[in-house]
Chains A and B, each alone.
Chain A
Amino acid sequence: MTATTFSANGRKSSSGDPVTPPVLRSRRLRAARAGAIALPLTFLGLFFLWPVGTLLWRGLSEGSGDALASERTWAAFGTTITLALAGTVGSLVLGLGAAWALYRVRWRGQAYARALVTVPFVLPTVVVAVAFGALLRPSGLLGFLGLDQGIVPIVAALVFFNVSVVVRIVGGTWASLDPGTAIAARTLGASRWTAFRRITLPALGPGIAAAAAIVFLFCSTSFGIVLILGGTRTNTLETEIWLEVKQFLDLNTAATLALLQVVVVALTLAIAGWAQSRRERALKRTRMDGTRSATRADLRLVTLALAPSALLVGLPLVGLVERSLHTRSGWGFANYASLLTIPERSNLPVPVWRAAVNSLEAAAIATSVAFLFGLILAAAISRSRRARWLDAVAMLPLGVSAVIVGLGILLTLYRPLPGGFDFGDPRILVPAAQAVVALPLVVRSLVPTLRSISPELRSAAATLGANPRRVWWLVDWPILRRPTGVALGLAFAVSLGEFGATSFATRPDHPTLPTAIYRLLSRPGIESVGTAFAACVLLAFLTSAVMMVAERWHGKEAVSW
């Protein structure tokens, strides 16, 4: 004890600023924090708020916003909310069980299952739509269900895409939950279900709310899935915006609809925030590894919990692999061989492997940027209630139409800026566009954990003489390591799979993997479609590999605890 005090004192005097009064210190700290927050805000401002704001301004000043009086608008609004709710509930139902099976209990081969469940998240919509369509079309495996073209396939595909968000975010919280309380409850006679409902579920609240908000926004702006699997008969705010901009050049209506999307974002965050505030600080987080080896009895439950997700995620993936092996002369690996060369009779100027390298490079940059900025934002949001508006700003990119963002970028960043800056350069624009989408995932992954860190721990460390950086290193970081793995994984995955903004930010001679797949699928012939599906399998493989690496990080951490 004495030794600690001495060393703390020693540290204080060696900080080289022994005369700084505490008031000045905190003032300078505040200035430093404000300065740090300026970085992510400048980034979001440049690559998101300015482009979107410019377009909305132009659109709104062009007319009277009479789209608000149109029946079609409110029908689209209703459909958007319905689909997003259904997609979120479906993802939660499937995801919670899977999160328990994949993160709370440990079993052999789990790492592979965790990596596999993330794969759908990165797959290009157009390919997933083809895979789902192949299952549901009258001649398909599930054709007898008669679910072709309608709401059910759309919701199924939304769940397919988003279940991994729930699994990873809730799983991260669940793994570090203290099992003691639930065990105590069961010892006192509570059933497994009651213990889960009364103890575990409330403790998972912040994680569930964070995941649900992200999934809801992803679903509400889903475009390709709605258009393709709905057979163009289902209209949401997103598809209506697309039509108004791309086909009818009605910016006023598009901007009005985009404002409705902003309202949806605000409502989502308000509800998620309300749900969270009821639960917050319920768990004072300490370093805790709450996982345990699966018992024989658990394994049956694990199988049961994973079966629905395995079916939903597995069937289309099997369809993808099957199609990638289908060649003109029967079954074989010819499509994989053509990933290495510029495919014959194809409109790709580079081999697919080169596009994969482009993708990995851009995603690595985007992930670093998103993580750095996301960490700064998450720290600010978790420390002060007043900083909650930052949360809303960071979440906007998930809820605002990619068409609006894309067009806004064309209007703002593609022109020479004062000082000779050119942000239209694809080397900047591609990773920047990806980072904008990845940022909210990082923030949402980190905030629940950061908020649950007991302030007493921080004060204790500070009282003992640790400077703010050291407090962060000693208190925040050890608890943050697990969600950091989650955040990096999700950020990388979303960057790797990003198509909307990337598709116009890339040059034709510098495709990313998703844009290359899209191009391969835009021409006829068994070689083209086969190579496209092989490229999808490559994308799935890369994603799984990256996730496995992120999982290893978790594993080590669990051991060291």
Chain B
Amino acid sequence: MHRKTWPAIAGFLLSALALTGCAADPDPTTVTVVTHGSFAIPDDLVTSFERDTGLTIEFVVAGESSSLVNELILTQDHPLGDVVYGIDLASAAQAVEAGLFTDYSSDQPAADDAAEYAISGSDGLTAVDYSDVCINVDHHWFDERGIPEPVTLSDLASPTYRGLLSVTNPATSATGLSFLLATVAAFGEGWGDYWAGLRANDVRVVASWSDAYYTDFSGPSSGGSYPLVLSYASSPPFEVGEDGVAPTGALLDTCFRQVEYAGVLEDGANPEAAGKVIDWMLSDGFQAALPDSMYVYPVSSRVEVPEAWARYAPLSDRPWTLDPATIARDRDDLLRQWTEIVLG
């Protein structure tokens, strides 16, 4: 048995090793970008970056939001890459406090716009894009019944809108966390009472954004029975039909401004190249591609958002926001209390 089997097995192992041996020592011409599973950017932008810099980009997919930060903290001794994209406002301060980043200041023109969202006291993170997390409304549903649409967060707790709202659990969904933070920003200490009111008003809680949007929402792409769901200010343009009428909209008084950051990872193999990646992310080409590729707003004021966005996806002019340091301090407590109040 063994005489003929061993050479075959040895061959198999050798070929496996040959396959694995390809990426050896840190390669100065490669830059590794750690990002979340929703990262998407047109191929030609990657190609032109690689052509301009002589670098090759490799992507490593980690979690989203707080799980991205947690994974970076756990692998801090041996970083997963050179630069990370996709740290959100809700976990930014925690990431900075953990010492994940090397300071970097881009000299791109858009850096001035990015500075507006800087984490105070740190140059570790550069804002790349932002979006508003807002309650979406099915216009058609309210028109048909002659009920006025809700406007404010408080309206959502009024008996008129009983059993009409579906939101995501902030402990399992980054979108849900943003909405919880909006209510904390709006009601301060009273946020718990507000949620108790929502609970009494039969708010539906689901695990993830796609459950709320694709199972519950009464909008055209889902056919559920909830005319109010938690989504983004940028969602309505995706529902516009050929007649040019927007069947859904965002309640702009309920929005939380979510920001996405990029940062050079401390102890990365190729810090210089990491800086070039951040420059690239602030470049006009990358910034202009953001709305269609990742459905977020570019941080740069130098690029135009698509026409449909200007028309159907206006941003809130008074979004709720919270200091990242406050979020870092209170987040775990908020989540535990929320679970107690809403699901307990």
Contacts and interface: CB of A to CB of B under 8 A. Distances in A.
A202 B210 CA distance: 46
A18 interface: no
B67 interface: yes
B311 to A, nearest CB: 15
B75 A345 contact: no
A139 interface: yes
A232 B206 contact: yes
Given A137-B216, A508-B59, A524-B235, A428 B26 contact: no
Which of A29, A227, A527 is most buried by chain B, counting CB atoms within 10 A of its CB? A227
B9 interface: yes
A162 B222 CA distance: 27
Nearest to A16: B3
A39 B12 CA distance: 11
Contact of A425 (B20, B59, B78, B213): B20
B185 interface: no
A133 B171 CA distance: 21
Given A247-B171, A504-B61, A507-B59, A139 B223 contact: yes
A407 interface: yes
A53 to B, nearest CB: 15
Contacts of A130: 210-211, 214-215
Contacts of B221: 524-526, 528-530
A138 interface: yes
A32 B293 contact: no
A36 B335 CA distance: 50
B306 to A, nearest CB: 10
Given A32-B5, A245-B70, A328-B241, A521 B37 contact: no
Interface of B is mostly: mixed
Given A345-B292, A416-B26, A524-B232, 4 more contacts: A133-B211, A347-B293, A425-B22, A507-B58
Contact of B74 (A372, A407, A519): A407
Given A414-B75, A503-B37, A507-B58, A29 B2 contact: yes
Contacts of A423: 20
A508 B35 contact: yes
B295 interface: yes
A469 B2 CA distance: 9
Nearest to B24: A420
- What band does the interface of chain A fall in when counting residues whose beta carbon is under 8 Å from B? 35 or more
Interface string B21-52: 11111100000000101111111001000000
A427 B43 CA distance: 20
B224 interface: yes
A522 B168 CA distance: 14
17 contacts: A29-B1, A32-B5, A36-B5, A227-B208, A228-B208, A243-B172, A248-B332, A249-B74, A349-B43, A414-B75, A420-B24, A422-B24, A507-B60, A507-B61, A508-B61, A523-B295, A525-B239
A332 interface: no
Interface of A: 28-29, 31-32, 35-36, 39, 126, 129-130, 133-134, 137-139, 227-228, 231-233, 243, 245-249, 251, 328-329, 345, 347-349, 372, 407, 410-411, 414-416, 419-425, 427-428, 467-469, 472, 503-509, 515, 518-519, 521-530
A509 B238 contact: no
B206 A521 contact: no
Size class of the contact patch on chain B? 35 or more
A539 B97 CA distance: 44
Interface in B178-216: 204-211, 213-216
B274 to A, nearest CB: 17
B38 A519 contact: yes
Identify the interface centre among B25, B78, B80, B221: most chain A CB within 10 Å of its CB. Answer: B221
Given A349-B43, A504-B61, A232 B220 contact: no
Interface in B309-343: 332, 335, 343
B169 interface: yes
B206 A32 contact: no
B19 interface: yes
Contacts of A249: 70, 73-74
B304 interface: no
Contacts of B332: 247-248
Contacts of B38: 347, 519, 522
Contacts of A519: 37-38, 40
Contacts of A411: 74-75
B62 A328 contact: no
B66 interface: yes
A528 B238 contact: yes
A134 B71 contact: no
A328 B20 CA distance: 46
B150 interface: no
Contacts of A415: 78
